[in-house]
A and B are shown apart, each in its own frame.
Chain A
Amino acid sequence: MALLDAKTQSRLRTLFTEIRHPVKLLMFTQAEGGALECSMCSETRTLVEELGALSDGLETEIRDLVADADLARLYGIDKLPAIAILAAGSPAKDARIRFYGIPSGYEFGSLIETILMVGRQDHGLGAAALEALRRLKTPAHVQVYVTPT
């Protein structure tokens, strides 16, 4: 059964026409399709696959945390399910944005907004934020904890 209903799919198709630079969702699960795949992993994988089917500008790749451990390490993936947002291309460029757990409710909106942001290659930040980033010297690891609403 599809997670995204026909109306949502249609709205997303329209929104995704704003993608100018292809975006890649690199998703990590474990034991894909098997009885041991965690339920949120399997749902998130379905969601990622359904999103990928809506636009040529949105690539998806499903990897396994254990079988593809080197890739997981490269992208700093340490829990499941995980979605890494990349600017597609060869090589793909990591946007350093991750979603852990199924992005549902409000976070689904954030995922879509993030895809569009990377697809437009426009972060939309103002002068104050850019100035703060220009001054920043220390790597920042920002985790935002949320719950589905």
Chain B
Amino acid sequence: MLANQLAMASDLVRAETVEATEFPHLVTRYQLYGVPHTVINEVLHIEGAVPEAAMLEQLAILDDAPKMRKLAADWEKRRKG
């Protein structure tokens, strides 16, 4: 619900709720072992419920280009694992 609130409040945010069992290819792609699991811009992953403060912290990381580059590289490595 928080993601939906953020999307309504900002044109920069898109929020999608995805029923995992209906999309097994995405469960594989994102290596989901449990739900809820939040994926932001492909590379930020949060397991479990996300309190507002944690979500806002994650959003702030999106503007940190060097950190995002590192996270993207880590994520590629894990995906190819």
Residues of A whose CB lies within 8 Å of any CB of B are 40, 76, 79, 85, 95-104, 107, 110, 113-114, 117-118, 123-126, 128-130, 132-133, 135-148
Contacts and interface: CB of A to CB of B under 8 A. Distances in A.
B45 to A, nearest CB: 10
A31 to B, nearest CB: 17
Q: Chain B binding site: helix, strand, loop or mixed by DSSP?
A: mixed
Among B3, B17, B20, B37, the most chain A Cβ lie within 10 Å of the Cβ of B17
A145 B36 contact: yes
A146 B35 contact: yes
Interface of B: 1, 3-23, 26-27, 30, 32, 35-42, 52-53, 56, 59-60, 62-63
Given A128-B56, A129-B52, A101 B63 contact: no
Contact of A133 (B13, B17, B23): B13
Contacts, number: 162
A96 B60 contact: no
B8 A142 contact: no
Contacts of A104: 19
A138 to B, nearest CB: 4
B36 A144 contact: yes
Given A113-B1, A136-B63, A142 B36 contact: no
Contacts of A141: 14, 16, 40-42
